[in-house]
Structure 1
């Protein structure tokens, strides 16, 4: 597929791909709205976003005192920078079912854009890309990180698209780095990618990212000065607002793994050591992959490193499994590698099967694991460490042919 040229008819396979994708997104959105309307459950994070947007829109009280009360009696507060609440202002005028439907469509569209970008990057032939895109979308939806993301109404798919479109698709453009800066202004976790830009010597992009992030902070201070002062003076470090007990199986970070192994909600000094080692090793592998020309792998390794060292990485933060699976599957397809194919399928099965984690809390064994339960409860952590290890091992192999440099749209057009 090629990008439409001005004055010509758009590429029909590309149009068909988006029509199918929008149809799937619309169907999911309609079903989500009905489920919420009937049950009043789920989409808790979206409810917290909406509560924050409403509080900010009315100007009443502290943005970080607003909360969404779930049917289980859990109060979910707004935990992002004020700039995020500004972007989420449209939610303040939407009913919750409409907000659920709208957010679902936007999230699925972002996922499709990510899939199209990665398929181009791994060298999927144009003639195969429409069917592969829709097939990958259907396969991605039951992955627990994605299904959980859609079910709580998270923002991670949009942030992932911003980062990949910037670092992978737009790295030769003038404003390279801006997408990362804006993503970090919405949710702080993408700041880890600025570290990757610095370590790989992309000083202009790093400065652009920092400038973009600083601009979001400035906008937040101009709009909600008191809230901004509270958040950036220490409120962002209040992990109690994020989780009550880090041992929960849904916290797939090194801190969560350490607390589950020790059966102690305080990770302590061990976590600091492991996090430091993981950060150094992960970023070193990411830099090595970038230097050999594999920018996509570098970004994915950096993402996994950030998720591992974060104090709390919820299951739905791991939507980065989708581009990782596409990268692994692309390698298997290019080299007709049976082991890589079996590995891809096996990892996909594990990621889908991890949906069983939702039974942990009702079953009464969420916070206490022993024996094989410790393996089961740390699957994403173990897979993340293994993925970084494999990427590091591949640095010893000869560099293959260069991959496509950039991608403009789902069509994979070059700038």
Structure 2
């Protein structure tokens, strides 16, 4: 009897496993050789040690390794409670733990946005994007937080716990609070209530355990004065960063920032509503994520990890050329070739301004394209209405993670 059955191996999990293996080996080698690794993860660990030792979170961190710059702890106190789990590990292995989460987080994020054919290539290519390799190199939590939001929105489906992950993420880093507003706009009121309850519960827990740090954070440290002088640095690709690079400080700059923020939020809510009604909740989530990057005072280049699901979304809808062009831009060369630091950004030429603000310009262009598309048609092309548009189709496992193609 002949067997002609061919064993087919899904390459995506293989890529995830290979990436985790490589990063684990790097962490072990750097630990054994006592090589500095993970600037931001060392800050997380130092914040956790401050909690364990009863030290102030928002004063200079005493547990930072000697090679690390004297960065402050800028997260809410609840984040420091979570980071106490890192205190049992050496600094390099703390980096390794966060680095190990990168590939699974990317896989979790891409599943609802990319089709099966593009997923392996997108997983591999993601590590060439500056927001991803910078997040991994610094030992940042951006990829984990993004994956938690995407899982909450799409992968949990009908779970009674939907919304809780978004609330916890918002308690770790405040900018994700915008996703609670997103839940309200798409009329997922129960999920929004659970998210808000989770955020308030986590914050209350931190207040009970760390009352002095909580008081200091919510009254002064939240304003993050440490980064005020760096707001105009090229590495900050938010609207406030753009204004700081182009308009002198003062009343005019404040008016421009506030007016843009209000307009951006209003237009984003309108777009989210329109995409949701058209059955395209993936585009709606990307709009909210883009709005958060624009209106946040600080959007460092490693915060732009949402470009990964955006590329998956574009590729799945046949816009592969556009996706490749955006991917090439987000490899990091744009912010590397222009003068940066020490106020050099204020002396940029027009051409340097275009290159140095490229991330921001691409996002604004994407927003304008969305506005044009929704104004021309009453519903988003290629996105038929479904009984529950917040969920992927359940006809098969493949369709459950594949957006409808245009």
TM range (shorter): 0.7 to 0.9
Contact 2:235 2:335 in 1 (8 A): no
Contact 1:249 1:367 in 2 (8 A): no
Q: Is 1:240 equivalent to 2:225 in the alignment?
A: yes
Deviation of 1:260 (Å):
1.0
Superposition map of 1:309-324 within 5 A: 309-324=295-310
Distance 1:106 1:152 in 2: 13
Q: For 2:264, which of 255, 260, 278 is the aligned residue?
A: 278
Which residue pairs with 1:381 in the alignment? 360
Deviation of 1:161 (Å):
0.6
Deviation of 1:171 (Å):
5.0
Contact 1:142 1:352 in 2 (8 A): yes
SS of 1:63's equivalent in the other structure is coil
Change (3 A) 1:280 1:350: same
Contact 1:303 1:320 in 2 (8 A): yes
Distance 2:123 2:248 in 1: 37
Distance 2:82 2:123 in 1: 27
Q: Is 1:62 equivalent to 2:56 in the alignment?
A: yes
Superposition map of 1:390-401 within 5 A: 390-395=369-374, 396-397=376-377, 398-399=379-380, 400=382, 401=384
Change (3 A) 1:413 1:58: farther
Q: For 1:296, which of 266, 282, 297 is the aligned residue?
A: 282
SS of 1:76's equivalent in the other structure is coil
Contact 2:334 2:356 in 1 (8 A): no
Which residue pairs with 2:404 in the alignment? none
Change (3 A) 1:20 1:78: same
Distance 1:322 1:265 in 2: 36
Q: Is 1:147 equivalent to 2:126 in the alignment?
A: no
Q: Is 1:249 equivalent to 2:228 in the alignment?
A: no
When normalised by structure 2's length, the TM-score is 0.85
Contact 2:178 2:288 in 1 (8 A): yes
Contact 2:98 2:139 in 1 (8 A): yes
Change (3 A) 1:319 1:211: same
Which consecutive residues of structure 2, in runs of 5 or more, have no partner in the other structure? 1-6, 402-406
Distance 2:101 2:71 in 1: 22
Change (3 A) 1:187 1:363: closer
- Between 1:272-281 and 1:41-50, the stretch displaced more is 41-50
The C-alpha deviation readout for 1:167-207, integer Å capped at 9, x for no partner, is 23335332221111011011111000111122232221111
Deviation of 1:117 (Å):
3.2
Change (3 A) 1:346 1:265: farther
When normalised by structure 1's length, the TM-score is 0.84
Distance 2:169 2:9 in 1: 31
Q: For 1:186, which of 162, 168, 172 is the aligned residue?
A: 172
Deviation of 1:140 (Å):
0.6
Change (3 A) 1:320 1:253: same
Q: Is 1:80 equivalent to 2:80 in the alignment?
A: no
Which consecutive residues of structure 1, in runs of 5 or more, have no partner in the other structure? 1-10, 333-339
Which residue pairs with 2:22 in the alignment? 27
Which residue pairs with 2:331 in the alignment? 352
Q: For 2:154, which of 134, 148, 168 is the aligned residue?
A: 168
Contact 1:247 1:264 in 2 (8 A): no
Distance 1:355 1:37 in 2: 35
Deviation of 1:33 (Å):
5.4
- Between 1:103-112 and 1:311-320, the stretch displaced more is 103-112
Deviation of 1:413 (Å):
8.5
Distance 1:362 1:378 in 2: 14
